[in-house]
Structure 1
């Protein structure tokens, strides 16, 4: 693990880039290198390096619209004496706050610390918020479940043409943005399962609606995944003491349709399936309290007889 503070990125990546950008704008206004150095609080040699293009920096800031606009305001203000150092600092601090909230600093931070991926750098913005920790735990659970699913022997035979997915909801989830899943779904390609990206909240409409239907009936059931329906899976479920719930594939609203089926049964079954309809593949949902639990059950369901 690489422990990186966002303030390090501000100092090492943001500040040199923005200083170089301001230096060039001030030079365009006709200011001398010594005058620029005085405004920026650096040496003339540093300004010379900025203007020669040898200072490095990061194009994610150079090409960022808000950063460019702020640099232009600061350079115009300093060159015309309409802005002093206090005003310039206020502009830069406001920019840093913005860039740390799902901006380039957040993007770089996630690249430096993969543990932050998918959290939108909320740790920087919201601090040690218990809700952030909960979101992180859900994302990690789905990530682990997806990897475990991909490692199940012959799992490719259970992946429908539309792909599969595994999702997990936050407690008291209300809509799809409260459910974490794999963006773009999980597909079988070349005899193996491909996981296209790390999980994100709101990434799946399909599996999320099934999960939301389940958790609305039983708040402890917060996860589910979809696979292709086949007789072996259903027979194996019965061998494990699970009576799969069959429901109609031809529905207008998956969430309300499934929720009614669960209500009528009086519980959320670990396995629910349909046999397809015109233009609809047969699909089976496997539910669990967590994404890992649902995947563990799937392992048992697809195991050879």
Structure 2
């Protein structure tokens, strides 16, 4: 993975655009090219290029409302004398910090480093915050699990009509926003597994409910996958020494019901299933320490079952 610093994009893409925008606006406000050059810290020849429209720049910044508003504010302040170079610099630094926080600079950074996409990257805002590292690790784990599911032979036959999903919770997760899953669920189409998007936190209430019930009993059971209930799959589990737990499909609060069933068992089983009810498809949850762990177990069980 090539390393591109966000600051490089600020220098190469943001500053040339903002200088051009400022030069254009200062000229419109009656400043001479010499005065503009002095304010921007560039040569008069550069200002002439900016004002003539040859300065180039990135439309992503030109069209950004926050950038436009800041440039107009600086141009007004410099041309009226109400703002000096220090004030203008403070405005620009504040703008850069804002644009790095999921703004155009962040967007450009993800284009330059595609590996950052889908990680919920907060590098510029929070740096090496351990919480960010934990989020990155969970998102990466769910991506790995999704790839395992997509490449598992015979998986399409075990995807419910409503789709399947794989999720993983952060340590000490308290609600669904602490569980990462695939937005829109995973579907089988023409015998293939379709992964519609990169994982996100809060993307699946269904699988998150099961995972949160599991972590309440066993904090180390942080991953789960839902698939269609199938006797061959359950038998494959029993052959591996797993005792599947059956629970009711027709319930008002699935999370509370699962929590009670796990508590009665005294543990979170690797497999928990129900046989369905009116309007409810039969479903089986495969649990693991992580999303990838659950996917690996599912892959083994399907190999034995098919």
Residue 247 in 1 paired to residue 236 in 2? no
Residue 136 in 1 paired to residue 174 in 2? no
Contact 1:223–1:290 (8 Å) recurs in 2: yes
Q: Which moved more, 1:236-245 or 1:47-56?
A: 47-56
The CA deviation at 1:136 is 1.5
Residue 166 in 1 paired to residue 175 in 2? no
Alpha carbon RMSD of aligned pairs, Å?
1.6
Please give the alpha-carbon distance, in whole angstroms, between the structure 1 residues aligned to 2:167 and 2:53: 47
| Change beyond 3 A, Cα 1:44–1:289 | same
Please give the alpha-carbon distance, in whole angstroms, between the structure 2 residues aligned to 1:190 and 1:72: 54
Alignment-derived partner of residue 185 in structure 2? 185
Q: Which moved more, 1:262-271 or 1:188-197?
A: 188-197
Residue 44 in 1 paired to residue 44 in 2? yes
Please give the alpha-carbon distance, in whole angstroms, between the structure 1 residues aligned to 2:48 and 2:121: 35
Contact 2:120–2:136 (8 Å) recurs in 1: no
Alignment-derived partner of residue 220 in structure 1? 220
| Change beyond 3 A, Cα 1:59–1:136 | same
Structure 1 SS opposite 2:251? coil
Please give the alpha-carbon distance, in whole angstroms, between the structure 2 residues aligned to 1:52 and 1:161: 60
Alignment-derived partner of residue 97 in structure 2? 97
Structure 2 SS opposite 1:287? strand
Contact 2:119–2:140 (8 Å) recurs in 1: no
Contact 2:272–2:284 (8 Å) recurs in 1: yes
Alignment-derived partner of residue 234 in structure 1? 234
Q: 1:186-227, CA deviations, whole angstroms, 9 ceiling, x for partnerless residues?
A: 112232111122212222211111111111110111100111
The CA deviation at 1:168 is 0.8
Matched pairs, number? 305
Please give the alpha-carbon distance, in whole angstroms, between the structure 2 residues aligned to 1:204 and 1:51: 51
Structure 1 SS opposite 2:216? helix
Alignment-derived partner of residue 88 in structure 1? 88
Q: 1:155-208, CA deviations, whole angstroms, 9 ceiling, x for partnerless residues?
A: 111111221111111111111111111122111223211112221222221111
Q: 1:239-279, CA deviations, whole angstroms, 9 ceiling, x for partnerless residues?
A: 22212111112222222221111111111011111222222
Alignment-derived partner of residue 196 in structure 2? 196
| Change beyond 3 A, Cα 1:168–1:39 | same
| Change beyond 3 A, Cα 1:120–1:238 | closer
Gaps of at least 5 residues in structure 2 are none
Q: Which residues of 2 match residues 1-305 of structure 1 at below 5 A?
A: 1-303=1-303, 304-305=305-306
Q: 1:82-125, CA deviations, whole angstroms, 9 ceiling, x for partnerless residues?
A: 11111100100111111112222122212222333334432222
Please give the alpha-carbon distance, in whole angstroms, between the structure 1 residues aligned to 2:85 and 2:288: 58
Contact 2:217–2:259 (8 Å) recurs in 1: yes
Please give the alpha-carbon distance, in whole angstroms, between the structure 1 residues aligned to 2:57 and 2:260: 57
Please give the alpha-carbon distance, in whole angstroms, between the structure 1 residues aligned to 2:34 and 2:176: 56
- TM-score scaled by structure 2? 0.94
| Change beyond 3 A, Cα 1:53–1:132 | same
Gaps of at least 5 residues in structure 1 are none
